[in-house]
Amino acid sequence: MAVSMETFAQWKNTTLEKLDQSRKGSVDERARHVVCLLNSQERFFTTSSCSGRIVLMDGPPEGGVVQKKDCRWLFISHDPCRSEDLVSALSRSSGEAVLKFEAFVLHVQCHRLEDAQLLHSVAVNSGFRNSGLTVSRSGKIIMAVRSTHGLEVPLSHGGKLLVGAEYVHFLTQKANQKMEENFRRIHRSVRCPLPGRLKNSTASETLLRFFQILQAALTAESPDLQRAEDPAVTPGEQENQAAVYRRRRKRQQSQTHAERDEEDSCSLDDCLDLFS
């Protein structure tokens, strides 16, 4: 069902040639290495990315449907921020201000379904548990990398601040912690387990990160996913990739209400115990 590689390459060229229409006008520095790694492979190209951000939005006073044009940006930061800046931004609220931490988001178009499956495994194993595929009837396959790691705190009503500066300071710390953990998930190397140790790894050993796992997976695909142009796969690398899939299968089994209870809600600050 995959389109030809020629068609895919045309889509890729068209997309990457477009000017970045984002508010920032460029790929976020902290996501650049992931974006570059993916775009260097002919079977992938990225269509959007955001490394993560802390935002303060001012919505209109209650009473009707929220329209995009009625919202105002009071504050935005792609790095950890200072509570003084948030307090200052909050003073400009005239409606319903909401503080949000939004984690890393990445959309990747993939040539074949197998390519998207591989990327999905990598994303879920890196802690981006709300990742998923979109498959269009025209053959476009998009993998969206999404986290469950968020923060969404309403702070004002009718322009009136509902909390004290001390609480805003506390929230700033929380948002900054989530930002740092988000960055670690994207690219930092923290006790990355050796191939073959994944199955019995402890919670602290599961600090697997998207970039490392992606690098490993792209160069060590299991036999039935491997392409002619890929480098030779060593037995150790095969085990590494097989472990990625084992974990994924484990996660797919018997998803229940109870599982949501345990995994989504208990992981208040962190999902580091994802595979423990």
Distance CA 213, CA 231 (A): 16
Q: Using an 8 Å Cβ cutoff, are 139 and 73 in contact?
A: no
Q: Is 85 in the site for its own copies (CB under 8 A)?
A: no
Q: Write down the least CB distance from residue 110 to its own copies, Å.
A: 11
Pairing type for strands 53-59 and 96-102 reads antiparallel
Extract the tokens encoding 115.
């390519």
Extract the tokens encoding 145.
């990398």
DSSP, residue by residue, 244-273: HHHHHHHHHTT--HHHHIIIIIT-SS--TT
Query: How far, in whole angstroms, is CA 228 from its chain's centroid?
Result: 30
Q: Is 188 in the site for its own copies (CB under 8 A)?
A: no
Q: Is 98 in the site for its own copies (CB under 8 A)?
A: yes
Q: Which is nearer to its own copies, 41 or 47 (CB)?
A: 47
Q: Which residues inside 40-59 make contact with its own copies, applying CB under 8 A?
A: 47-50, 55, 57, 59
Q: Is 200 in the site for its own copies (CB under 8 A)?
A: no
Q: Which residues inside 163-182 make contact with its own copies, applying CB under 8 A?
A: 163, 166-167, 170-171, 174
Q: Which is nearer to its own copies, 168 or 218 (CB)?
A: 168
The residue count for binding its own copies (CB under 8 A) is 87
Q: Is 270 in the site for its own copies (CB under 8 A)?
A: yes
Q: Which residues inside 210-269 make contact with its own copies, applying CB under 8 A?
A: 224, 245, 248-249, 252, 254-269
Q: Write down the least CB distance from residue 23 to its own copies, Å.
A: 5
Distance CA 12, CA 27 (A): 16
